[in-house]
Amino acid sequence: MAQLLHHRDGPRDECGVFGIFAPGHEVANLAYFALFALQHRGQESAGIATATHRGNIMTIRDQGLVSQVFDEHKLRSLVGDLAIGHVRYSTTGSSAWENSQPIVRDDARMLALAHNGNLINAVALHRELREAGVEFHSTSDSEIIAALLSRHPAARLQDAVADVLPRLRGAFSTVVLTEEAVVAFRDPHGLRPLCIGRIDGLDGVPVWCVASESCALDMIGAAFVRDVAPGEVVTLSAKGLESRLVAPGGREAFCVFEYIYFARPDSRMGGTVLQAARGRMGEILWREAPVAADVVIPVPDSGNAAARGLARAAGLPTDDGFIKNRYVARTFIQPGQELRRQGVRMKFNPVPEVVAGKRLVVVDDSIVRGTTDRQIVQMLRDAGAREVHLRISAPPIKHPCHYGIDMSTREEMIAHGRTVEQIRDELGADSLHYLSLSGLYEALGARRERHCDACFTGEYPLPGTDTANGKFALGRELPLVRA
């Protein structure tokens, strides 16, 4: 299946994972709808694996959106009361079928695995396993985790995870499927999200599930119970929910960018509903940088909540200055040179009746390379805007992420080596203000020492991170052995 077309030059979505055990009930449909709710976390590929107690693991995975990969016939073929699922954006390895998930391995034990995050010691582990004779069928670091667990001699998968987890460095919220259980675990720093849900009412037996975000739990009627703790291993089996903390005491470093952009606004993270937190970001933006203006407009959809908050604080009206084409990312036709030159016009179209003659406050969540924002400012001026004041509900992004977000290289980032005034001039705006780091944490009601904000500050919580290998390092390291 062809690669989906992306136009946004901001951070790329990462991945979403899901796992469920519902004794005596087919669960493929529940996994499908949970992945549907997590689609924003990855649009390159999708997959579901199910298991029966007879030892069979069945997997369907392909490139494309959830609705393109699955239909009723395929879902009916995925039998079993245990399942895991995955939606992917490639942060390690190319966008190829071999890198779609769940990954299935059958070494000492058969398992399927889905992973959100990045290992910063992937190349070293990959070399070690290849020297031990292990063959790989992908260039994704996720298969490294799968191989380590599948080859492990421990009788129980939970014991294998407890031994392997301390060897992994980086971000990994992971779900693993065997014929007996779904095992989920999170890295000792809690960099990427993972939460637990419960469904009551199926034959009086609780159904337990795990997901990257609580919006996936809402979709299938599960109640949010709690987050999986950093370094915790959770098992969903016939015994119910079991928990084991195997890597305690790490410095918590939850990704602050989940609050700003990645997670759905209706998800709850760290006790915060993100829609409300993003609204507070807008309110603080106005407090930090008020300006004489007529109307507030968001860059849809990522700027919507912050724009509403800013408008409330300013006492200004808000309006839809752009109409968004929500089907751009679903086309498989590559644009010609003329359309490519126009770029962002394929996704956003300004409304002259809203913006003409007005002093605009334009709210977006972040700026990475600046290509989109430069075109947005010019489009608004072409539509008759009198002034364009950019307000960004995040600090300037100056450093790449090595923990599961594709944010471009440092040299590609517009904030690298430039002052805010220089960026403003580069974008052609009348004024530009980024939310301060202190304002961000105030909006979240969170403590900085429990989060990772390295994309803003360059202060990576794991030593050696800034020398980590790039997205395609495993592809360069050794050739694939194709299945």
Distance between CA atoms of 219 and 33, rounded to whole angstroms?
7
What is the rounded average pLDDT of the residues 283-311?
96
Separation CA 242–CA 440 (nearest Å): 36
Q: What is the pLDDT of residues 19-41, one digit of tens each?
A: 999 999 999 999 999 999 999 99
Binned at pLDDT 50, 70 and 90, residue 215 comes out as: very high
- Would you kindly state where each structural domain of the chain is located, as residue ranges? 15-253+472-477, 273-446
Amino acid 5: pLDDT = 36
Q: Residue 186 and residue 175: Cα distance in Å, rounded?
A: 9
Q: Which residue stretches of 204-324 are H helix?
A: 214-219, 257, 274-288, 304-314
Instruction: Report the pLDDT value the prediction gives residue 83, as an integer from 0 to 100.
Output: 98
pLDDT at 10: 53
Write down the pLDDT at residue 93: 46
Cβ proximity of 395 and 434 under 8 Å: yes
Which residue type does 455 have? C
* Residue tagged 């109409």 (tokens): 323
Tell me the average pLDDT across 39-58.
90
Per-residue confidence (pLDDT) for residue 60, from 0 to 100: 97
Residue 51 makes CB contacts below 8 A (sequence gap 6+) with 57, 58, 80, 82, 83, 112, 177, 178, 179, 180
Catalytic residue among 15, 195, 215, 452: 15
pLDDT tier for residue 6 given thresholds of 50, 70 and 90: very low
Instruction: Please report the pLDDT score of residue 366 as a whole number.
Output: 94
Residue-level pLDDT at 347: 83
For domain 15-253+472-477, give its CATH number from 3.60.20.10, 3.90.226.10, 3.30.70.141, 3.40.50.12160.
3.60.20.10
Across the range 422-445, mean pLDDT stands at 97
Tell me, which fold does domain 273-446 have in CATH?
Answer: Rossmann fold (3.40.50)
Is 443 in contact with 277 (CB distance < 8 Å)? yes
CA distance 299 to 314: 18
Is 401 designated active site?
A: no
Residues 158/183, Cβ–Cβ less than 8 Å:
yes
